[in-house]
Amino acid sequence: MNLNRYKTGWLTISLLVLNYGATVYGADSAITPTPVFSVGACILIALVIFLLLLLLLWLIRLAKSLRQDTAETDYSSTHWLQNEVNNLDAEELDLLINRRKKIKGNNGSRHKSPGKGAVLTIFFLVFSVLAAHAQDADNGGDVMKSPGMFIMLALVLIPLVVTVYLIGLRLSNITRRTRYSKIKKDTLALTGAVDEQSVSVDDLINRKQALNFKLTDDELAGTLLPDDKRALLRNITEVESPRFFASKRKAANKHQIDPEIVRLIMWYLGTATFWLVIGTSIGEYLGIKFVSPDTDHISWLSFGRLRPVHTNMVFWGWSSLAMIGLGYYVVSTVSNTVVYSVKRAYQSLILINAAIITGSLCLMAGINNAGGEYREYTWPVMGVFALGIVLTLINYIQTIAQRKTKEIYISNWYIVSALMFLTVIAIVGYIPWWQNGLGETIVQGYYMHQAVGMWFMLFNLGLVYYFLPQQLNTPIYSYSLGILAFWSQILFYTLIGTHHFIFSSIPWWLQTVAIVGSMGMLIPVFSGTTNFLMTFRGSYHKIGRSYTLPFYIVGILFYFTGSTQGTAEAFRSTNLVWHFTDFTVAHSHLTMYGIIAFLLWGCVYTLIPRLTGREPKQGLVGAHFWMALIGVLLYTIPLMVGGTLKGIAWQAGKPFIDGVVLMAPYWLWRAIGGSLMWASHIIFAWNLYSMATGGVEADIKKKIFEQLNPSVQPETEITNGTL
Amino acid sequence: MELYNNHKGLFLAAAGLFILLTCFVAIGPALTSQNNNAPLPNSKALTALENEGKAVYVAEGCIACHTQQVRNVDMDKVWGERPSVAADYARNTRMDTWRSTALLMGSERTGPDLTNIGKRQPVSDWHLLHLFNPRTVVKESVMPSYEWLFEVKDYPFVEDVTVNVPDEFKKGISGKIVATHKALALVAYLKSLKQTKLPDGKPVPIFLYGQSKTDLNTGTKGTGSAAKPEFDGAALYAANCQSCHQSNGEGLVGAFPPLKGSKVVLDDNPEVQVTIIMEGYNGRVSEGYGVMPAVGTNNNLKPEEVTAIVNHERENWGNNSKKATLAQVKKIIESLKRPAAPVIAKK
């Protein structure tokens, strides 16, 4: 009974989100025969009553207008005349004025008849408006065929409705005729008044000019260009036509930065984006396989082998490479120095990419590390990756060591810690000599969760601590909150790995520690979110004018909701429903995509225009943003609803296959959402390309200036040169 | 603060805290767990073939969708007689230096739990057919087809294991479909997955979060539907019988016999029907049908549940024979238990 209550609650939600899926499940679980007959009759009666009410309203309206039209008008009063003139629009006034001029031209000889045409034109102009309002009452739907009461009801009600409708038609005919003669009378009276000069032509002309009045747009601004002595203005855009897409602020000027570093960062981001596109293409294919499992029967493309290819590729390929690339800019910039060794950075890039290529091929060939999530690469492959990470770590630390600022900015704590921790995590998770047997399950829990929280999350927070204040042009709200979030994240996050194995046969106390740690995670999440949102304080208006800030705000929003959801999932009671279901898949996408990917995109769109001096098309950035956002919502919400229903079905002791059948519509929605996400990545790749291949024009210009420099009269020379 | 201006101090402090917590929460417990764990006395090590099968299980990524853990919660009762304990995993160690210990517990249950699959489904024919294309036996399944574990031969050897695939799933295959060594190894591994009885004297962990207290106290083993007064024959049939005999009761030609119009089901006396459910059947092997396992005994079905299944079979798909009563079924099951008594006494 208790269960049914839950079920109905969830049914309501899922009905709102996904009508189809919920009804399939609802129909499945319905046991009692529904009283179709009485419900059908009720609906029919309600429909008829509704129809009758509509008809009644129509009748009342008709009667009202009929009464108005038949009322007598005092044509001689100036009030009436003034009213009529004010009701005319410019075109109608024009007709009247022209008619008046014609009459004057003809010296008033043909006094009576010539106005007929103009009168009729005005008349039709007015009447056509009325005709457009003529109504077509709906005759109602055909009544469902059903014995007994249905037929009886129909036999009584149809004639009733038709009768009322016919009465209405009749009445509406009368009204139309009355209205016609009334308007004709009014118009003739008006023309008559103009002819007899009861209304002066000047009045009409004045009225027409008043109607045609328009602002010149120069009233406030004037026509002079602004005097800009400090070069504050650039990229001034004038809006000539109504905009479908609001144009956003342009990025700042290109920064003076070593082209060698720019090339390095572009290599990191380029390869990262390559893995994003490939990795999510694979993910999309996996999503399709849930809907159509017989798409192919090729071993290298089977679900079991491709799934880890997808997850590892977007983890280590896309997110990690993008983070490290952006890190090279942030670490050196906030230290007010240059990157220690560009050569090492390239070595690291090659190592990491090599690890992903070999790792993916190994996984597809069936060589994996025996099933631990995100730990599927074997240790020789992961060793290559870890070497790349260690090289980066050394490079970052040496960059910070040569910093020109006294303090270490908070971004660098997060970024360097993330690299240190990943090194520790990889060593603990992969060193083959010390672990064997059941202990590896505990290590797996530790490994998979630390990789997410101590690597991706920590590194991203570091990036956001730099890019967000920079985009908002305001300092970070509170350094203290940042310190609190930093240490509490380390303290609590390290503990929570085992919450992936609640109720399993690893020590009960360890499971409890993990649950407590998950609770504790609320502290860094709340303080981090507060810090970011308070940094936003007073700058919310900037979101609408920027194409980068929406990515940050969505990332922060998911940081809050996704992380808190993780805490909620860890309790024993909720674990009962959600563990092992598709809910966890939704959660990992909400976090790795909603938080990490969105923040990374925000950073990329912020940084690259500054490096290359070239911006992406704003419409395309918008398309990327909205498709990714709507896509991830369409992906995660159905999986959460379906996962919950599946957990409830399991608890109710339903056959396992029922859960599979129940998920079918939700898996379809997941594939649809996934397609949107995938398409948005193609757009992102194009945007990155268009940002990367710029700067040529500016560079050429600069070179020509330099070449021309020795010549005596630069101005004329340049004009000739460019011509 | 001074700490935040000194990169060595700051980063060493952060790394130190992290490593300390790592030792406390991962390395320490892992070492304790793996060093204080021994296999159950009644358990058997995997044979060479079964070990090969486990390697296939790992390579194909089965772990991504199939768990092997019966949690100590009521809803997991369907997957085993008792919750899994640490000792159940003691025989699962590293396969070689290159790979870690197979994470058999899994973390996603897109497919059913396999802890006890060897007991639940001991028929090789079913497994092979299911691996070739899961939709031959379970229409709604989304599991991948493992076609590459099979080969097509026009003239198979006598020792080859052929699979009778229904025509609609053959698409373009004209010869005989033969299971490769890998497929046989995988099936051998799956059939080896059975829960071992805990030795006497060791307390059996209980299932938590039962639907009612009385249910917990009596310790009944059921499918979780015990709280319902009536047993749902259709659901029980789906959970226990449908994967072979199919939802339309027609079975699969050449593999599983139909129940629709079956003499056994149409017989007004339910004795043979109940006996087959409880003890299995091999009477139609000569016609090409597989051996039926003792589903009722393996899955611990209660007389009430058996009655529901029997009657579901008796009044569906055009079958119209006399319904069996609970008393009848109880009596038959009682009479079956007597010869089995010595087996229980032996343990």
Is 90 exceeded by the pLDDT of residue B16? yes
Inter-chain contacts counted by CB atoms under 8 A, chains A and B: 264
Q: Are residues B163 and B292 located together in one domain of the fold?
A: no
Residues A504, B209: C-beta atoms closer than 8 Å: no
Is 90 exceeded by the pLDDT of residue A464? yes
Give the residue on B whose Cα is nearest the Cα of A643. Answer: B110
3-state secondary structure of B292: strand
Asked whether residue A480 is assigned to any structural domain, the reply reads no
> Edge-to-edge strand order for the sheet containing B162-163?
B150-153, B176-179, B162-163
Helices (H), A133-258: 149-195, 201-211
Residues B108, A420: C-beta atoms closer than 8 Å: no
Within 203-232 of A, beta carbons closer than 8 Å to B belong to: none
Min Cα distance B195 → chain A (Å) is 14
Q: Are residues B172 and B235 located together in one domain of the fold?
A: no
Asked whether residue A131 is assigned to any structural domain, the reply reads yes
- For B20, the token pair is 């300390």
Length of chain A (residues): 723
Residues B64, A307: C-beta atoms closer than 8 Å: yes
* Segment B111-131 mean pLDDT: 92
Q: Are A515 and A570 in contact (CB under 8 A)?
A: yes
Is 50 exceeded by the pLDDT of residue A36? no
Min Cα distance A495 → chain B (Å) is 6
Residues A421, B18: C-beta atoms closer than 8 Å: yes
Q: Measured between alpha carbons, how far is A639 from A647 in angstroms, rounded to an integer?
A: 12
| B138 interaction partners in chain A (CB closer than 8 Å) | 657
Q: Are A346 and A372 in contact (CB under 8 A)?
A: no
Q: Are residues B52 and B188 located together in one domain of the fold?
A: yes
Residue A176 pLDDT: 87
Q: Is A375 on the interface with B (CB under 8 A)?
A: yes
Q: Measured between alpha carbons, how far is A505 from A371 in angstroms, rounded to an integer?
A: 18
* Segment B137-148 mean pLDDT: 93
Q: Are residues A385 and A278 located together in one domain of the fold?
A: yes
Residue type, B223: T
Within 265-294 of A, beta carbons closer than 8 Å to B belong to: 289-290, 293-294
CA B27 to chain centroid: 33
Of A462, A390, A391, the closest CA to residue A426 belongs to A390
Asked whether residue B75 is assigned to any structural domain, the reply reads yes
Q: Are B62 and B170 in contact (CB under 8 A)?
A: no
Higher pLDDT, A9 or A349: A349
Question: Residue A624: is it exposed, middle or buried by C-beta count within 10 angstroms (0-12/13-18/19+)?
Answer: buried
Of A688, A555, A652, A668, the closest CA to residue A20 belongs to A668
Q: Are A529 and A560 in contact (CB under 8 A)?
A: yes
Task: Please tell me the total count of domains within chain B.
Answer: 2
Residue A2 pLDDT: 46
Q: Is B13 on the interface with A (CB under 8 A)?
A: no
Residue ending a domain, among A408, A437, A461, is: A408
Question: Whole domain around residue A372: which residue ranges?
Answer: 260-408
pLDDT above 90 as % of chain A: 52
Residue A38 pLDDT: 59
Q: Are A250 and A235 in contact (CB under 8 A)?
A: yes
Q: Are residues B168 and B61 located together in one domain of the fold?
A: yes
Q: Are A594 and A553 in contact (CB under 8 A)?
A: no
Residue A336 pLDDT: 93
For the domain that residue B286 is a member of, what is the CATH number? 1.10.760.10
Q: Are residues A369 and A311 located together in one domain of the fold?
A: yes
Q: Are A211 and A86 in contact (CB under 8 A)?
A: no
- B294's enclosing H/E stretch is none
Q: What is the pLDDT of residues A603-650, one digit of tens each?
A: 999 999 989 888 898 899 999 999 999 999 999 999 999 999 999 999
Q: Which of the residue ranges A51-55, A316-320, A715-719, B197-201 would you say has the lowest mean pLDDT? A: A715-719
Is 50 exceeded by the pLDDT of residue A720? no
- A693's enclosing H/E stretch is none
Q: Is A31 on the interface with B (CB under 8 A)?
A: no
* Segment B165-186 mean pLDDT: 90
- B178's enclosing H/E stretch is strand B176-179
Residue ending a domain, among B192, B220, B251, is: B192
Q: Are residues A206 and A272 located together in one domain of the fold?
A: no
Asked whether residue A561 is assigned to any structural domain, the reply reads no
Asked whether residue B19 is assigned to any structural domain, the reply reads no
Asked whether residue B6 is assigned to any structural domain, the reply reads no
CA atoms within 13 A on the CB side of B302: 15
Cα dihedral across residues B318, B324, B326, B330: positive or negative = negative
Within 516-545 of A, beta carbons closer than 8 Å to B belong to: none
pLDDT above 70 as % of chain A: 82
Residue type, A638: P
Asked whether residue A393 is assigned to any structural domain, the reply reads yes
User: Which of B21, B71, B99 is the closest to A495 by Cβ?
Assistant: B21
Q: Measured between alpha carbons, how far is B291 from A101 in angstroms, rounded to an integer?
A: 108
Residue A142 pLDDT: 36
Q: What is the pLDDT of residues B199-237, one digit of tens each?
A: 887 778 888 887 654 444 444 444 444 444 467 888 888
Residue type, A706: E
Q: Measured between alpha carbons, how far is A119 from A563 in angstroms, rounded to an integer?
A: 74
Asked whether residue B17 is assigned to any structural domain, the reply reads no
**φ, ψ dihedrals at B205, nearest 5°:** -60, 145
Q: Are A44 and A143 in contact (CB under 8 A)?
A: yes
Asked whether residue B21 is assigned to any structural domain, the reply reads no
Is 90 exceeded by the pLDDT of residue A289? yes
Residues A491, B21: C-beta atoms closer than 8 Å: yes
Helices (H), chain B: 7-22, 28-35, 48-59, 117-120, 124-132, 181-192, 213-218, 233-240, 242-245, 263-266, 271-279, 295-298, 303-314, 326-346
Q: Is A508 on the interface with B (CB under 8 A)?
A: no
Residue A218 pLDDT: 81
Q: What is the pLDDT of residues A689-710, one digit of tens each?
A: 999 885 556 567 777 777 777 6
Q: Are residues B156 and B81 located together in one domain of the fold?
A: yes
Q: Measured between alpha carbons, how far is A378 from A432 in angstroms, rounded to an integer?
A: 10
- For B104, the token pair is 């058999």
3-state secondary structure of B140: coil
Asked whether residue A451 is assigned to any structural domain, the reply reads no
Complex ipTM more than 0.95, yes or no: no
Mean pLDDT of chain A, nearest integer? 83
Mean pLDDT of chain B, nearest integer? 85
Residues B97, A432: C-beta atoms closer than 8 Å: yes
Q: Are B142 and A288 in contact (CB under 8 A)?
A: no
Residue B300 pLDDT: 79
Q: Measured between alpha carbons, how far is B47 from A113 in angstroms, rounded to an integer?
A: 115
Q: Is A30 on the interface with B (CB under 8 A)?
A: no
A682 pLDDT band, cuts 50/70/90, is very high
Beta-bridge partners for B162: B178
Q: Is B173 on the interface with A (CB under 8 A)?
A: no
Asked whether residue B292 is assigned to any structural domain, the reply reads yes
Q: Is A337 on the interface with B (CB under 8 A)?
A: no
Residue A287 pLDDT: 95
Residues B105, A441: C-beta atoms closer than 8 Å: yes
Residue ending a domain, among A371, A389, A408, is: A408
Asked whether residue B23 is assigned to any structural domain, the reply reads no
Mutation choice for B interface testing from A487, A574, A656, A662 by most B CBs within 10 A: A656
Residue A240 pLDDT: 62
Length of chain B (residues): 347
| B177 interaction partners in chain A (CB closer than 8 Å) | none
Of A319, A261, A332, the closest CA to residue A599 belongs to A319
Residue ending a domain, among B134, B164, B192, is: B192
- For A187, the token pair is 């118009």
* Segment A129-158 mean pLDDT: 50
A110 pLDDT band, cuts 50/70/90, is very low
- For A710, the token pair is 């020795």
Tally Cβ neighbours within 10 Å of residue B143.
21
Tally Cβ neighbours within 10 Å of residue A276.
27
**φ, ψ dihedrals at B297, nearest 5°:** -70, -45
Beta-bridge partners for B179: B150
C-alpha distances out from residue B258 to A260, B237, B248, Å: 74, 14, 9
User: Which of A370, A406, A428 is the closest to B26 by Cβ?
Assistant: A428
Q: Are residues B237 and B177 located together in one domain of the fold?
A: no
List of residues 6+ apart from A430 with CB closer than 8 A: A375, A379, A382, A383, A386, B100
Q: How far apart are the first and last CA of chain B?
A: 69
Q: Tokens 């225009």 belong to which residue?
A: A609
Q: Are residues A289 and A402 located together in one domain of the fold?
A: yes
Is 90 exceeded by the pLDDT of residue A723? no
Q: Are A179 and A69 in contact (CB under 8 A)?
A: yes
* Segment A662-677 mean pLDDT: 95
Residue A122 pLDDT: 52
Residues B142, A289: C-beta atoms closer than 8 Å: yes
* Segment B111-127 mean pLDDT: 91
Residue A392 pLDDT: 97
Q: Are residues B144 and B278 located together in one domain of the fold?
A: no
User: Which of A366, A375, A504 is the closest to B59 by Cβ?
Assistant: A366
Angle among Cα B149, B151, B156 to the nearest 5 degrees reads 130
User: Which of B21, B35, B106 is the closest to A494 by Cβ?
Assistant: B21
Tally Cβ neighbours within 10 Å of residue A706.
9
Residues A370, B99: C-beta atoms closer than 8 Å: yes
Residue B240 pLDDT: 83
CA A136 to chain centroid: 40
pLDDT above 70 as % of chain B: 91
Q: Are residues B233 and B188 located together in one domain of the fold?
A: no
Residue A484 pLDDT: 94
Q: Are residues B244 and B339 located together in one domain of the fold?
A: yes
Task: Please tell me the total count of domains within chain A.
Answer: 2
Q: Is B94 on the interface with A (CB under 8 A)?
A: yes
Q: Is B115 on the interface with A (CB under 8 A)?
A: no
Classify strands B176-179 and B162-163 as parallel, antiparallel or unpaired. Answer: antiparallel
Residue A453 pLDDT: 92
DSSP A534: H
Q: Are B108 and B69 in contact (CB under 8 A)?
A: no
Residue ending a domain, among B192, B213, B248, is: B192
Q: Are residues A156 and A81 located together in one domain of the fold?
A: yes
Q: Which of A193-202, B3-12, B311-320 has the largest mean confidence? A: B3-12
Q: Measured between alpha carbons, how far is A580 from B111 in angstroms, rounded to an integer?
A: 10
Residue A243 pLDDT: 65
* Segment A463-486 mean pLDDT: 93
Q: What is the pLDDT of residues A497-520, one digit of tens each?
A: 889 999 998 889 999 999 999 999
List of residues 6+ apart from A497 with CB closer than 8 A: A442, A445, A446, A447, A448, A449, A450, A514, B25, B26
B48 pLDDT band, cuts 50/70/90, is very high
Classify strands B150-153 and B162-163 as parallel, antiparallel or unpaired. Answer: unpaired
Q: Are B65 and B110 in contact (CB under 8 A)?
A: yes
Residues B107, A416: C-beta atoms closer than 8 Å: no
Asked whether residue B298 is assigned to any structural domain, the reply reads yes
Q: Are residues A73 and A180 located together in one domain of the fold?
A: yes
DSSP B138: -
Q: Are A153 and A41 in contact (CB under 8 A)?
A: yes
Residue A123 pLDDT: 53
Prediction pTM value: 0.73
Q: Are B66 and B111 in contact (CB under 8 A)?
A: yes
- For B78, the token pair is 């369907």
Q: Are residues A271 and A396 located together in one domain of the fold?
A: yes
Of B204, B220, B243, B209, the closest CA to residue B85 belongs to B204
Asked whether residue A47 is assigned to any structural domain, the reply reads yes
Asked whether residue A200 is assigned to any structural domain, the reply reads yes
Asked whether residue A247 is assigned to any structural domain, the reply reads no
Q: Which residues of B144-168 are buried (b: 16+ CB within 10 A; e: fewer)?
A: bbbbebbeeeeeeeeeebebbbeee
Q: Are residues B84 and B157 located together in one domain of the fold?
A: yes
Is 60 exceeded by the pLDDT of residue B52? yes
Q: Is A369 on the interface with B (CB under 8 A)?
A: yes
User: Which of A401, A421, A584 is the closest to B108 by Cβ?
Assistant: A584
Question: Whole domain around residue B94: which residue ranges?
Answer: 48-192
Q: Are A100 and A201 in contact (CB under 8 A)?
A: yes
